[in-house]
Chain A
């Protein structure tokens, strides 16, 4: 410790510190502390002249350690690390004494604050004496990226990356990319056509030589760490060879198994067993749904049936022998863009979804009003195929609940307005009602859309029905009563078609991905971001990012912003091919390690492993690229064999002693 030459810099922070802390007294006291060879105060240490003062003092006084007594390290620690570097010192020879947030700002009494400041600085000096120089860890990164999910979020991120020269794989569990946006007819607030926005992007993705689409595939397992992930992808068999198929359509046109409920139309139409999900699907390669295929079902009984698609295919692309296969990818970063699932409206039985045919959800309405949908754009009552005389939209189904789904879906209000307006424009004679609690028109152009709708004769009812019923017999239709906050009375609504705007929920695979990627979820079940405002795209796992609604409900506008941000975050990480990691990590002292293995299971990141050496000796080893420096293993080790850099046991003990005894 004698050889340490510690310099202490006291910041006045204008009057923020100096007003309550007597800097002169503190200075006199600090000068008496062991190891301190230089003390200087200045009005704003973080300013340019302040930093210059630090740099020059390091050189002039041959300082080996620097203590800066100023604001919280969470504010300027990185600033002063750079100052040290420029002054010729290792940036980790720095300790910050927080005498502003923890002292001058929380005490009024000058004497008390001055005494406390002395303590805080003494603690920092004792730790500083034991600091060791650390080197930032540099690891090579694979300049390729995996995106999980190919909805509008995954597509937006992929295009940013590929257009910046980064090889990108998109894994999509469905046979086509496009996600839920492909099912929409129009988008709010501009009411422009969804397909006109989305399908060109899908084609761009397919054409881009740097993007590889792995459709009808899922992530099987993930190993590795930031910059170097190894991902195993499971490819489900399509039974149609991509290299041969020309998408001519003869197979599905001739398939005799025609009554399979069409997922894309949410059961409002049927499809064949060999099918493409929708006309603009990418890739436009059909897939055989073995569950509903006569050939595959026949096989179960040991019979060879049907095979019509194979016979009809002019290029011999149908191959019943295809099997599930696996491919391995090496990527430097992973973007999760798995989107959302629609909340199952039948779980709120008061609305009668699943019970009454004429109660549908918003996405089904999209399929009905879509010109490429099952009714070619006609709004009909599913019960009788006739045009309804009255349509009622109900907002907030499974949303904003006091217990249950507490969150707002962030699209339903606008979706109701858009759809109501579409009915109004297409069928001016049809009555249109919207039941809502509050109109959340938060986006650009949203309030304007609301105002526009209010002038179109749509009935706005400020309240939600408690239960929906159906009448019997002739003229059968739906009805309900509702307390309308505008009229301040209970009214009865008779209507032919009810459209429920249903909340977004986190998809089923979230749980698996949490485990595979070491992520966590927030209370609503969506993936948790690293910081709501400062790091809304990063996750606690370095190198794994979020894009779109998998992080929480978003409309298309916000989804695209988030997803493009993810593209930017990944580029920032990978563009140099080298990743720098803060050296605040754990390291094993091999001489002390007994190989007991207690550290291995406590690490949430799998960053510590037990290796068996040639001589049979078991030793713990920290995988530096995986370690995030939490120190949990260090606290677990019974042999004190793991060092937490920058937070070593000795350093902390020194702080404790200094905190208690002057």
Chain B
């Protein structure tokens, strides 16, 4: 499917979306028949606080070009503060990615409320574009 030409390839994004805000927001994008690139594969978690750094590393190791973590806005987490824990973990994971020689921009944390379907779509579009610029996940060619 993917060609060697970096500009042409279709990146693959793994998205972890919290049930209450971001997943709901992605559903609303569907309800409103918004269109976005077919690059994202969504995994539902109850809260962004469930997302372990190892999930992100696993996704990248398996060949995902980017990882998106979506949660409720700070202060709105359905479980009070899970998203604050998530912030800390994402910062750490980004550091780790740097150490591993992976562009930390391949990991994105975004707050998407259940009404922000437009924001969700825009994030997928922008992330796809940026990943195209970044090129394929370097770990992919190792295999």
The interface of chain A, by Cβ under 8 A from chain B, is 72-74, 98, 100-102, 105-109, 112-113, 115-116, 119-120, 123, 518, 520, 523, 540, 584, 602, 604-605, 628-632, 634-636, 644, 647, 649, 652-653, 655-657, 659-661
Contacts and interface: CB of A to CB of B under 8 A. Distances in A.
A101 B31 contact: yes
Residue among B19, B36, B44, B75 facing the most chain A CB atoms (10 A cut-off) = B44
A630 B38 contact: no
15 contacts: A72-B30, A98-B27, A102-B26, A108-B35, A116-B38, A119-B41, A123-B43, A631-B47, A631-B49, A644-B46, A647-B45, A649-B54, A652-B43, A656-B43, A660-B14
A460 B64 CA distance: 65
Contacts of B131: none
Contacts of B112: none
Given A106-B34, A604-B81, A630-B82, 9 more contacts: A73-B44, A101-B31, A105-B31, A112-B38, A120-B41, A602-B85, A604-B79, A660-B14, A660-B62
Given A631-B46, A661-B63, A101 B78 contact: no
Interface in B37-77: 38, 41-47, 49-52, 54-55, 58-59, 62-64, 75
A655 B79 contact: no
B47 A630 contact: yes
A602 B38 CA distance: 36
B85 A635 contact: yes
Contact of B35 (A106, A120, A605, A649): A106
Contacts of B107: none
Nearest to A109: B38
A74 B19 contact: yes
B46 A630 contact: yes
A636 B51 CA distance: 9
B36 to A, nearest CB: 6
Interface in B82-128: 82, 85, 89
Contacts of B54: 649
Interface of B: 12, 14, 19, 23-24, 26-27, 29-31, 33-36, 38, 41-47, 49-52, 54-55, 58-59, 62-64, 75, 78-82, 85, 89
Contacts of B50: 630-632, 634-635, 644, 647
A631 to B, nearest CB: 3
A635 B45 CA distance: 12
Nearest to B52: A635
A516 to B, nearest CB: 14
Contacts of A602: 49, 85
B8 to A, nearest CB: 15
A647 B27 CA distance: 20
Contacts of A74: 19, 23-24, 27
Nearest to A101: B30
A98 B85 contact: no
B52 A649 contact: yes
A636 B42 contact: no
B79 A632 contact: yes
B49 A584 contact: no
A540 B30 contact: no
A622 to B, nearest CB: 14
Contacts of A113: 38
Contacts of B52: 634-635, 649
B62 A604 contact: no
A605 B49 CA distance: 14
Contact of B26 (A101, A112, A628): A101
A107 B81 CA distance: 34
